[in-house]
Amino acid sequence: MTESRFAGARILIVEDHDDLAEALAINLTHAGHDVERVRDGREALLAVRARMPDLILLDLNLPRMDGFSVLDRLRGEGMWMPVLILSARGASADKVEGFRLGADDDVTKPFSVGELLGRVCALLRRAAATRAAEAALAQMPPEGTAVPSAPADVIGYSDEELVARFGLTLRQAAVARLLARGLTNPEIASALSISRFTARNHAEQVLAKIGVVSRGRVAAALRAAYDADQHSAA
């Protein structure tokens, strides 16, 4: 599979160093991509909301809003386009934090053009496969029975309360209910008609926002939080 197979993608470069950003833009444009460049985190959020890119190259050390904050906001708003972090930080903790927040890949500066283009191609290939899987799921006939919500005595919160209490999206609230019932990622994907990749990403975000380290603790954590809220309100 060649890189030209995935040419024509909309790529947003979020980088405040002009020389590097210009070099990236030239090489990506030469590879056939539609490139946009912004210089800080707030501009990045505005650019994504105005015109959804197929892929983002995201620096971490940005003015006004750092790359971690940008990534957290994007994923919190349900935007799951591939994000490749461009980092001058070599610490493993920074890489772990980036992946925890939903990054898809990480490359440490300085890097070669060939390496970057290869990673971009790989991420676009993966995204294309995900879209194909989601399209296939959308064309499947509906299941004979709908998946019911978790009983009130398991979670307690309504979907709107989950959103307000834990900063979830409505889709993540639905995922939280299914996690509380013990469903796997493939089962969640089938229940919500989304790809397994999307189900995994949402599940990871739910765990992070609820503050648990394993799926098996979701139901207990939600119930404990609900009971504590009820006690405080009494």
Assign residue 178 the CATH number of its domain: 1.10.10.10
pLDDT of residue 221: 86
Q: Which domain holds residue 21?
A: 3-138
User: Within this chain, do residues 56 and 172 fall inside the same structural domain, yes or no?
Assistant: no
User: Within this chain, do residues 98 and 36 fall inside the same structural domain, yes or no?
Assistant: yes
User: Within this chain, do residues 103 and 7 fall inside the same structural domain, yes or no?
Assistant: yes
User: Within this chain, do residues 115 and 28 fall inside the same structural domain, yes or no?
Assistant: yes
**Is residue 146 one of the residues assigned to a domain?**
no
Domain boundary among 82, 106, 138: 138
User: Within this chain, do residues 169 and 128 fall inside the same structural domain, yes or no?
Assistant: no
Report helix, strand or coil for 82.
coil
**Is residue 217 one of the residues assigned to a domain?**
yes
pLDDT of residue 145: 42
Q: What is the CATH number of the domain that holds 73?
A: 3.40.50.2300
User: Within this chain, do residues 131 and 218 fall inside the same structural domain, yes or no?
Assistant: no
**Is residue 143 one of the residues assigned to a domain?**
no
Alpha helices in the chain (DSSP H): 18-30, 41-50, 67-76, 92-101, 113-139, 159-166, 170-180, 185-192, 196-210, 218-233
Task: Report which residue type is found at 53.
Answer: P
Give tens-digit pLDDT for 34-78.
999 999 999 999 999 999 999 999 999 999 999 999 999 998 888
What average pLDDT does the structure give for the chain? 84
Say how many domains are in the chain.
Answer: 2
User: Within this chain, do residues 167 and 104 fall inside the same structural domain, yes or no?
Assistant: no
Task: In whole angstroms, give the CA distance from residue 100 to residue 85.
Answer: 12
Give tens-digit pLDDT for 112-152.
989 999 999 988 888 777 666 555 545 554 544 444 444 44
Token pair 């772990």 in the structure block, residue: 96
Phi, psi values for residue 15, rounded to 5°: -155, 130
**Is residue 227 one of the residues assigned to a domain?**
yes
Confidence of residue 229 (pLDDT cuts 50, 70, 90): confident
pLDDT of residue 69: 96
| CA–CA–CA angle 36, 94, 124 (5° rounding) | 40
User: Within this chain, do residues 23 and 126 fall inside the same structural domain, yes or no?
Assistant: yes
User: Within this chain, do residues 130 and 171 fall inside the same structural domain, yes or no?
Assistant: no
User: Within this chain, do residues 183 and 72 fall inside the same structural domain, yes or no?
Assistant: no
**Is residue 37 one of the residues assigned to a domain?**
yes
**Is residue 41 one of the residues assigned to a domain?**
yes
Structure tokens at 144: 């004979």
**Is residue 113 one of the residues assigned to a domain?**
yes
Task: In whole angstroms, give the CA distance from residue 33 to residue 35.
Answer: 6
User: Within this chain, do residues 130 and 167 fall inside the same structural domain, yes or no?
Assistant: no
**Is residue 154 one of the residues assigned to a domain?**
no
**Quick one: which of 76, 79, 101, 229 has its CA closest to 163?**
76
User: pTM for the whole thing?
Assistant: 0.60
User: Within this chain, do residues 47 and 113 fall inside the same structural domain, yes or no?
Assistant: yes
Task: Report which residue type is found at 194.
Answer: I
Sheet containing strand 10-14, edge to edge, reads 34-38, 10-14, 55-59, 83-87, 105-108
Task: Report which residue type is found at 34.
Answer: D
Report helix, strand or coil for 6.
helix
Structure tokens at 150: 């978790």
